[in-house]
Amino acid sequence: MAAGLFEKVLIANRGEIALRIHRACREMGIHTVAVHSTADADAMHVRLADESVCIGPPSARESYLNIPAILSAATITGADAIHPGIGFLAENAQFAEMVEEHGFTFIGPTPEHIRMMGDKVVAKKTVLELGLPVVPGSDGAITSFEEAEAVARQIGYPILIKAAAGGGGRGMKVARNPESLRDAYQLARGEARAAFGNDEVYMERYLVRPRHIEIQLLADSHGNVVHFGERDCSIQRRHQKVIEEAPSPALNASQRDSIGRLAADTVRQFGYRGVGTMEFLFEDGQFFFIEMNTRLQVEHTISEMITGIDLVREQIRVATGAPLGYDQSDIRIQGHSIECRINAEHPETFAPSPGRIDGYHAPGGLGIRVDSALYDGYRVPSHYDSLIAKLVVHGASRNECLMRLRRALEEFVIGGIETTIPLHNRLIVQRDFINGDYDIHWLENLLAGKR
């Protein structure tokens, strides 16, 4: 689509992220179309959208992943563009292609870039050639156990076997010594095949105490790229993020500036467009690229809080072909922000806890943002991701942010189901967390009683 804003955007997602996108659209004067499964007929994103279309039964495969149903919904409602949100079809290159073939704008990068970064072997090779440091590992995919043995000898133990099509921490296995390599290799391939229908794996040195640092990028279709600094997402369980903060307590200004610039230069070189995130592991002052996500991320919120820029709005703007209209020097980082991901799960066993919300009160006040599609009486369905709310806090300093987070969690009431609020209450008062002294294994160690 040429210049000029969209009139109507179809949001091909659900839950808090569908609401997040709806909000950006409304503030831009854009009409929204919600799609939903039969399990989500009463969902907040459906209630708030200008129009809604039921696209299938509860199973995601038959609804939020049902490409023909989504394209039909866009056709009958006369949408100009489709926003894929996060998860579901957001990193599906074929979907992006079909959206464009049907005459809609895909609010995201080109299918080629989604495909390139979706294959982590190709992604690593590409950025390495463009000058980014990557985790030492195999040159490409590993095709036999013998090859795995040879590569492991070369890079040294412990090693990590990862799925080329990986995501969500699945298809990832550690081998600590030659004896455990065969099991790890076979388990990783099996898990990758089951999760992604593709058992291609590759190998990396397993870093023992890195932090997860990622750079938020935004590119228009005219070659302008800016970064929004980093997010520290080291508080993880099963390779999945639980708490994120920006800026990272581990980086100084010059490290921030240099990794941000490097990441922005890299995507500029391959002509990327849209929002995207380059993920790195950071250990002993060195950065190692692990992957790039070609979409909005759950934790984009904290970058918004410290820069004052609405990333979804920017994402929609660049999708229309509009130039950024500002450069790196206009992006200023102010204060500190932390996000807690609140899941419908038991805070100790992590067993899913869907069900009816009985009593809901979200915290408020200066510097508090709650991104959630919950309301009193809402029934959290059992069919989808367990993320039900993001508590996002901003403060002038990290200390102010921590104190504000503490009182916001105290105020938050989500009744009727189990949530991970008690887990967050526990984490944020730990001395290591207060000191910003943690790596990607910190939370698992704490939960295992090793701390």
Summarize as ranges the residues that interact with ligand ADP (CB under 6 A).
135, 160, 166-169, 204-207, 210, 212, 236, 239, 279, 281, 290-291, 440
Angle at 430 between CA 400 and CA 422, to 5 degrees: 90
Which residues have C-beta within 8 Å of that of residue 53, sequence separation ≥ 6?
A: 33, 34, 35, 36, 73, 76, 77
User: What sign does the CA torsion over 183, 186, 192, 195 have?
Assistant: negative
Which residues have C-beta within 8 Å of that of residue 95, sequence separation ≥ 6?
A: 67, 84, 89, 106
Q: For residue 362, what are its two tokens?
A: 């979200």
Look up 295 and say whether it is catalytic. Answer: yes
Determine phi and psi for 310, rounding to 5 degrees. -80, 105
Cβ closer to ligand ADP: 170 or 369? 170
Alpha carbon distance 187, 195 (integer Å): 12
Amino acid at 443: L
Cis previous bond, 58, omega within 30: no
Shortest Cβ 215–ligand ADP spacing (Å): 13
Shortest Cβ 158–ligand ADP spacing (Å): 8
Shortest Cβ 441–ligand ADP spacing (Å): 8
Cβ atoms of 411 and 393 within 8 Å: the answer is no
Cβ closer to ligand ADP: 63 or 126? 126
Q: For residue 381, what are its two tokens?
A: 């369905």
Cβ closer to ligand ADP: 282 or 378? 282
Alpha carbon distance 12, 37 (integer Å): 11
Shortest Cβ 226–ligand ADP spacing (Å): 23
Cβ closer to ligand ADP: 167 or 416? 167
Tokens 């500190």 belong to 336
Shortest Cβ 169–ligand ADP spacing (Å): 4
Q: For residue 341, what are its two tokens?
A: 């991901």
Alpha carbon distance 74, 443 (integer Å): 42
Alpha carbon distance 155, 69 (integer Å): 47
Residues in the chain: 451
Shortest Cβ 290–ligand ADP spacing (Å): 4
3-class SS of residue 360: strand
Cβ closer to ligand ADP: 171 or 381? 171
In whole angstroms, how far apart are CA 58 and each of 14, 62, 65, 302? Answer: 12, 7, 11, 31
Which residue among 211, 295, 341, 369 is the active-site one?
295
Shortest Cβ 14–ligand ADP spacing (Å): 21
Tokens 């992957």 belong to 291
Cβ closer to ligand ADP: 156 or 169? 169
Cβ closer to ligand ADP: 110 or 234? 234
Known catalytic residues? 295
